Structures are given as structure tokens and as C-alpha cells.
Structure 1
Amino acid sequence: MVYILSLLASGSPTQTSPPMLCYHINNTCDTQNIRVMSEAMCHFERIVFAGERILFEALPDSYLEIYSSRLEGTRMSRVACRLLRVNDEPGE
């Protein structure tokens, strides 16, 4: 299942760049809690189940925090959203 989140449509008063479309897939066997963060704020937080895909809008300076819980504890990864950007330009 693919979810598309467009939570930045109204924009931010300090926003200087347009949001970009990004993509994440949970290719683990675990449920993940993801957060799209920027310097000043958390834009949104969602649960992503194993095998689930999600499209979301993020500002260029944002990053995705991915939390996975296991028996040995919670693991957190951080990825720059610019690395998750969907290539919507033909030929790129």
C-alpha cells in the first residue's frame, strides 16, 4: 500500500524553498515510526508497517528519522530527505 502525505501545502512563514516529493519503503520485518523533521519543527509522524511504501512532501533541509523497535532496543536512523527525493524530471 502506498500513502501520499501532503502536509506542507499551506507552507511555513519561514519557508524559502518549495517542498519536494520524497519516497520511503519499509523493507524490514518490523513496524517503523517515522518523523519528518527540519531545524525548527516536526512536520509529521507516522507508523509504517513492514513492506509499506510512503510518499511525502518535505522541505530541502528536512530529514527523515526512522525508529525500529526490536528485542534488544529501539534503533534510530536519520536520512536527509534530499536523498529520498522522487525524480520527477524526465531524463534525469
Structure 2
Amino acid sequence: MRKLNRAIGESLKLLYNYRCQICGENISARYGVNIVESHHLDPFVKSLNNNPENQVIICPNHHRIIHRARPVFVRRKLIFVYNNGVEERIMVNQHL
């Protein structure tokens, strides 16, 4: 059993200055707060992989969409591919 170390995700959030790696936005800056989320590319509950290379920092909107639509992440291209053909590239990257 491996315990999730939240400090890794928090460090990545700081690295990206609370900006989404997909849209590049800090959607919460206008309100004087920092809201961004860490998403595990390979689900932590299955992989127990909490390493930085298994996480992307994304806004809550992209996080919800990814969980609902379940796109495939193509690591060599740093792109999410959705079933309907939509592709979204990781635009801001300093750790993958």
C-alpha cells in the first residue's frame, strides 16, 4: 500500500504558478485565490504512482472534462485524444 504524498502535487502547482498545463490559464487569479488541480495520468488507485511524471496540473474545468470523457493521453506527443476526435495538447510543460 502506498500513501499519496500531496506535497508532490503541491510542488507542481507552484512550479506552474497555478496555471493549467492545457489552457495556460490561472482561472482563479482574478479572485485573489489559487485553484488548480493535480490529475494522475495513470489513476493513482490502480498504479500507486504519485511521481511527478504521472501528474499534470490542470484547471477544474479540464479536470472534470478529462474524468468524464476519459481521453487517451499520448505521452510522446503530450496530447489528450478524445473519442470524438478532439485533441488537446499540453501547452505549458516544465516536468513531463
Larger strand fraction of residues: 1
Q: Which has the larger radius of gyration?
A: 1
Q: TM-score range by the shorter chain?
A: under 0.3
TM-score w.r.t. length of structure 1 = 0.24
Larger helix fraction of residues: 2
TM-score w.r.t. length of structure 2 = 0.23
